[in-house]
Amino acid sequence: MKRLAALMTSAALLATQTGLAQMGAPGERPTALSAAPGPLAAKYKANADKILAAALADEEGYAHLAYLTDHIGKRLSGTPQLNTAIAWGAGLMKQAGLQNVQVQPVMVPRWVRGNESATITYKGEAGTIVKPLHMLGLGMSVGTPKGGITAPAVFVHDFAELDKFPDSEVKGKIVVFNPGWHGYGIGSMYRTGGPSRAGAKGAAAVLVRSATGLAMQIPHTGTLRYVEGQPKVPSAAISVEDALLIERLAKEGPVQVHLEMDAHMEPDVKAGNVIGEIPGSEHPEQVVVLGGHIDSWDVGQGAQDDGSGIMATFEAVSLIHKLGLKPKRTIRIVFWVNEENGGAGGRAYRQWIGDKIGDQVAAIEMDGGAEKPLGIGYGGFGGSRRPAPPAPGVATPSAARPSFDESSLPPDEKQSFTTMRDIVSLLGAIGTDTVSPGGGGSDIAPIVADGVPALSPRTVAEHYFDWHHTEADTLDKVDPDSFKRNTAMLAVVAYVLADMDGRLAGRKGDLHE
């Protein structure tokens, strides 16, 4: 008890010294509502303080992340490294004393990058430029014919510009997209949908500016989605600088591109979701599930995306168990598989739940990195009444997006939002006592669509998309203190949701952020 009191004192002192109790977030972020202490805060304050102190003193979570990233490394679906990570994760859960540990079998795709390169050639009055490009093939892309493709570039900023070209002016050429940087939602739209849009007009291949605002000659990979019935064309991401260079040169004269990619698909491989639990003391059939995805891209170490997510959520559950806290409901940790290029893990989990979906009390996914946390996003309200996403290739301007109006919510959703403010008020000592609209993740989307309330951490998100899907996604990018604070926040929220008498409201239908 003396050690616990000392840890609690040091936790409060650390929060004061770092100014996190008054922490704000630079730049644009979702509307965050201040915490309002209420009955739940009073009931759970003592246990919440124990959790916060233990989390801020914990060293094991970051050590586990270091092992995962440095010794297992990148974990693309279908690779031996992924299955090594899966076996290690199951062992870790057993070692922590979690119960019902299992690996739920899931078949995952096996996409192989192979050798790849791209070069541009420009011949103009000022001379000739031949330059290799900084590139990464997009996940699930087909490869080029042996010897590659050499073709003129057609430069466009967006889909509207592409559509203005007659098909005859695109056929057989390589389309280069540079939509600029207007956030990941728009940037990734050109990566996922650009290949089929260009292929439908007869393009031979596609290059797309990486979905990032950072210009450091670092290409960002990510998955594409071929539209059924449209040609599948080889596609790659290029660095911001190279996209801008092609744009400048294209204004002066023709730019030729040579692209070689050995990318190809192999037969699916058996992998699995890793699952462990703290069984509920009164309602073990009711479940609060949290986790992240264990797979990563085949570049970097998958440290922020999503090693930090699975290790922070695991450590949150492990700390609850270590402290001897026994919530009324079951707390389940899941390392979902194949989030990056298929989503098979999330779909398999939904199938596994079956007709017991009503017993899924809440779902928390951490898949936005472990930067300095601000609070929790809650997406259980609104359901199918929230606006659907724009049609492929159509961006929704920020000004056109409806603002969040808590007063317009139905009574049960309004009460749930009040409950969440009460819960996060317990997190003032670490500066994460806000709740904002929106929350969820790709892996929990299948159960959220069936009415399970969705939550996810909100961070300052200052650099996540600088490292995301690149060789730079390595352990050194994860700050240990921020990692601990994410762990602390997750542990408190998960514990209270699993133990409180009521439950949050959810709505059937897609929850679009």
The Cα 161–Cα 177 span in angstroms is 10
Q: How far apart are CA 110 and CA 305, in angstroms?
A: 19
- The torsion of the CA quartet 134, 138, 144, 150, rounded to 10 degrees, works out to -40
Q: From CA 57, how far away is CA 504, in angstroms rounded?
A: 30
Give the contacts of 125 (CB within 8 A, at least 6 positions apart): none
Q: In terms of Cα–Cα distance, which of 406, 410, 408, 390 is closest to 398?
A: 390
Give the residue from 492, 487, 438, 482 showing the smallest Cα distance to 460: 482
DSSP string, 366-411: --S--S-EEEEEE--SSGGGSPPPPPTT----GGGSPPP-GGGS-H
The candidate with the shortest Cα–Cα distance to 288, out of 451, 495, 458, is 495
Active-site annotation holds for 116? no
Question: For residues 373 and 481, what is the distance between their CA atoms, to the nearest angstrom?
Answer: 10
Find tokens 């031949």 and name the residue: 130
Nearest to 509 by CA among 385, 333, 346: 385
Active-site hit among 339, 365, 371, 413: 339
Detail the DSSP E strand segments found in 230-359: 235-238, 255-261, 264-278, 283-293, 329-336
Give counts: helices (H), strands (E), the chain.
Answer: 14, 17
Q: Which residues contact 368 (CB under 8 A, 6 or more apart)?
A: 309, 456, 457, 458, 459, 461, 464
Cα angle 162, 166, 171 (rounded to 5 degrees) comes to: 85
Look up residue 141 and give its two tokens. 């892309």
Q: Annotate 446-511 with DSSP letters as a single string.
A: HHHTBT--EEEEEE--SSHHHHTTSTT--GGGS-HHHHHHHHHHHHHHHHHHHHSSS-----BS--
SS3 category, 268: strand
Residue that has been written with the tokens 């990018």 in this structure: 477
Q: Yes or no: say if 223 and 140 are a contact pair by the CB < 8 Å rule.
A: yes
**Which sequence positions are flagged as catalytic?**
339
